[in-house]
Amino acid sequence: MTAPVPPPGEASVTGEPTRRVTIGILALQGAFAEHSSLLSKLGADVREVRLPHEFEGLDGIVLPGGESTAMALIGERWGVFPRLKQWVSEGRPVWGTCAGMILLSDHALMQKKGGQSLVGGLNVEICRNYFGAQTSSFEVPLDTSALETGSVGKKDGGSANKNPYPAVFIRAPAVLEAGPGVDVLCKVRSRPCNKAVTVMKAQLKQEEADDRDDDTRRAKRRRLAAFFVEPNPSTAAVAGEGGGGGSGASSGEKEAPEVIVAIRKGNIVGTAFHPELTNDSRWHEYFVRIVKEAVSSGTGGVRDAESPAKTLGAAAAAEAEVAVA
């Protein structure tokens, strides 16, 4: 594990003072103000980002929770998504929470009709609204050992379990499969909501008819179908990995499936829950450490971002400026 970089103003391992990191918050829609407040308290310079040229000077960026479809539509229209895709492809630090995690995924299930644009970067299968609607929001204690050890499977005596993280889930997604190179940081046990079961059963059945001769796709469908076996009880218990609680299964009932709710791949972090809606700053501290380490290693920061006129074209840039105003 890389050693933490000292806070701004303190000496680094080379004896040189570290500079304050600058983190952008994608402010197209969603809970960007809450992220900004927490990151500012940790000593980061924070900027709201709505246009491509506003990436200039950033060391890291946060994609907040909100409505992923709305964020995608606005992001495409204002030319932000191409810049985000470039950012991710260059390995620069980015953190997506809830809707932001969906945008950073390569494959999303339960999309609205017509689909939506994704930034990509995380080779995972993610299911939108896995846990249900706004009224099905909940809080669950999560094991935080992975913030120090690097993955949920590497625990150091269980010490982190003594201080679980209060994870807030609101219309949250869940990662069903994580590909090579993706570190799993947190899991919970929970059944999908009734709507997800109904929609995914129909979708997987249709795909089976379309691709019955493709062995690879058929095997993948079987794995995904295991998450959508039966309707969800009206109130399902959710258990955070290492955090205690129920499994969502009553006596004699098949145990609820385990789904992934926090991941990392290189400098990309995704959380299905909303760390910005708590007073616990551990996840924000984790991302700030990643940004500092990236700056120290030379993989963070943009000092030569293209102008909006060059990226979008003069007409598109002018339209975006008017829309923001």
DSSP-assigned letters across all residues of 258-274: EEEEEEEETTEEEESS-
Which residues, 6 or more positions from 278, have their beta carbon under 8 angstroms from its beta carbon? 166, 168
**In this structure, are residues 184 and 260 in contact, taking their beta carbons and an 8 Å threshold?**
yes
**In this structure, are residues 272 and 108 in contact, taking their beta carbons and an 8 Å threshold?**
no
Q: Which of 34, 54, 127, 274 is catalytic?
A: 274
Cα-based angle 267, 78, 86 (whole degrees, multiple of 5): 30
Q: Which of 53, 98, 127, 186 is catalytic?
A: 98
Tell me how far apart the alpha carbons of residues 274 and 74 are, in angstroms, rounded to a whole number.
21
User: 186 an active-site residue?
Assistant: no
> Does the predicted TM-score (pTM) go above 0.85?
no
User: 321 an active-site residue?
Assistant: no
Ramachandran category for residue 57: left, alpha or beta (phi over 0 → left; psi -120 to 50 → alpha) = left
The secondary structure of the chain in percent helix, strand, coil, rounded to multiples of 5, reads 35, 20, 45
User: At the fourth CATH level, which superfamily is domain 22-151+163-190+257-297?
Assistant: Class I glutamine amidotransferase (GATase) domain (3.40.50.880)
Token output for 94 = 């980015």
- The amino acid present at 118, given as its one-letter code, is L
Q: Which of 34, 125, 241, 276 is catalytic?
A: 276
Token output for 270 = 């995704």
Token output for 31 = 């809970």
Token output for 196 = 């997800």
User: 253 an active-site residue?
Assistant: no
> Which helix H or strand E contains 36, and what residues bound it?
helix 32-41
pLDDT by residue for the chain (325 residues), tens digit each?
A: 444 444 444 433 334 446 799 999 998 877 788 999 999 999 999 999 999 999 999 999 999 987 777 778 788 888 898 999 999 999 999 999 999 999 999 999 987 665 678 999 999 999 999 998 887 889 999 998 888 766 555 544 444 456 899 999 999 999 999 999 999 999 999 999 999 998 888 888 877 776 666 778 788 888 998 899 865 454 444 555 433 333 343 334 568 899 999 999 999 999 999 999 999 999 999 999 999 999 998 876 554 434 333 333 333 333 433 333 3
First-residue to last-residue Cα distance in the chain: 44
